[in-house]
């Protein structure tokens, strides 16, 4: 996220709208999209494709973080720390040694190979975030996987930076042979959005419908391997995924319960605009983080700095912290 550039103002306004729409489809986001101030900077495709793949193991399973892109959000209290002052947010960022005028988010779907099966967890933004994301295809290729080899896509929730990559630029299925697993309440919500907001999501919904396989939020999706965990709040049908590889080796894909490695972890109770139900989102975030601190389980966070692997630790003062691998 260190390679940022200034773009022309109209582009920035579009990027802000796209970034917010990607994570949130509420009315406040629509308002923000029309406000040409404090716009974020886009992250260009400056890195070679190989730098967008981080291969690692989950026990005996081969996995890889695939960088789709990223976004920057201004510290203007419109997204992070809603209801607080920018100085309050800046204070927490500064104490962690981060810049204080904007917050950087990465976008990195997860690839897992399981014998003959190839899993993707979320699909990035596709065309929803302009040049700042939508590079999953290149990263997948760099990881040595063709789109047609993907057998299963697991969707944490139906925001544009997670489902956008399900279709290509022409609107056709990006992973033509893959079953698309999405929780029943989330699928119902996406369908309702598509009928209410029109073209963009309607086209996506029509394209993926033949491949969608819905599940109860607490389902075992692949026996002994992939379990979904109900984690509503960010969206009504949001789920996390626990990937198990035997011998007690697990990885918890937390989805969008958290967005920023400092603000989300150290101030889980703060309202983030992206959460559809702010109170439920904050409560769920706190539960997940406290459980992760207790268990020491390895986490994968789709929006934390690439590659998003790490654990939650609790300091002697009770303060939680993200410790990246």
The residues that touch Zn ion, with contacts defined as CB under 5 A, are 23, 161, 256
Min dist. Cβ of residue 295 to Zn ion (A): 24
Q: Which is nearer to Zn ion, 256 or 275 (CB)?
A: 256
Which pairing describes strands 110-114 and 61-66: parallel, antiparallel, or unpaired? antiparallel
Min dist. Cβ of residue 106 to Zn ion (A): 10
Beta bridge partners of 242: 227, 252
Min dist. Cβ of residue 266 to Zn ion (A): 19
Min dist. Cβ of residue 246 to Zn ion (A): 30
Min dist. Cβ of residue 270 to Zn ion (A): 17
Q: Which is nearer to Zn ion, 130 or 225 (CB)?
A: 130
Q: Which is nearer to Zn ion, 136 or 245 (CB)?
A: 136
- Given phi > 0 = left and psi -120 to 50 = alpha, else beta, which region is 144? left
Q: Which is nearer to Zn ion, 152 or 256 (CB)?
A: 256
- Secondary structure E strands in the chain: 53-58, 61-66, 69-74, 102-107, 110-114, 117-121, 152-154, 179-183, 212-215, 220-222, 226-230, 239-244, 250-253, 299-300, 309-314, 320-324
Q: How many CB atoms lie within 10 A of CB 136?
A: 27
Min dist. Cβ of residue 276 to Zn ion (A): 12
Q: Which is nearer to Zn ion, 89 or 302 (CB)?
A: 302
Q: Which is nearer to Zn ion, 23 or 66 (CB)?
A: 23
Residues 6 or more apart from 68 whose CB is under 8 A from it?
Answer: 107, 108, 109, 123, 124, 125, 133, 134, 135, 136, 139, 161, 165
Query: Can you read off the two tokens belonging to residue 200?
Result: 């963009």
């Amino acid at each position: 996220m260190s390679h940022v550039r200034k773009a022309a103002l109209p582009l920035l306004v579009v990027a802000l709208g796209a970034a917010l729409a990607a994570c949130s489809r509420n009315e406040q986001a629509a308002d923000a999209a029309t406000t040409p101030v404090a716009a974020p900077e886009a992250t260009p495709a400056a890195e070679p494709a190989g730098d967008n793949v981080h291969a690692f193991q989950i026990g005996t399973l081969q996995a890889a973080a695939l960088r789709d892109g990223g976004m920057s959000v201004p510290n203007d209290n419109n997204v992070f720390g809603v209801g607080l002052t920018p100085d309050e947010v800046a204070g927490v960022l500064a104490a962690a040694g981060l810049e204080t005028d904007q917050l950087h988010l990465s976008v990195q779907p997860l690839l897992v190979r399981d014998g003959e099966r190839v899993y993707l967890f979320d699909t990035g933004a596709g065309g929803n975030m302009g040049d700042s994301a939508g590079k999953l295809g290149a990263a997948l290729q760099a990881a040595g996987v063709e789109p047609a080899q993907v057998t299963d896509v697991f969707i944490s929730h139906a925001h544009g930076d997670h489902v956008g990559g399900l279709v290509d630029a022409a609107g056709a299925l990006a992973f033509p042979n893959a079953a698309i697993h999405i929780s029943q309440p989330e699928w119902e919500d996406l369908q309702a959005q598509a009928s209410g907001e029109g073209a963009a999501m309607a086209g996506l919904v029509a394209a993926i419908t033949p491949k969608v396989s819905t599940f109860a939020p607490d389902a075992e999706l692949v026996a002994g391997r992939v379990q979904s965990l109900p984690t509503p709040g960010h969206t009504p049908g949001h789920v996390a995924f626990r990937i198990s590889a035997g011998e007690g080796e697990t990885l918890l894909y937390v989805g969008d319960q958290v967005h920023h490695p400092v603000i989300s972890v150290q101030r889980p109770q703060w309202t983030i605009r992206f959460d559809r139900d702010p109170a439920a989102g904050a409560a769920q975030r706190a539960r997940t983080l406290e459980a992760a601190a207790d268990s020491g389980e390895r986490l994968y966070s789709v929006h934390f700095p690439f590659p998003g692997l790490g654990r939650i630790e609790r300091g002697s003062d009770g303060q939680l912290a993200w410790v990246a691998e």
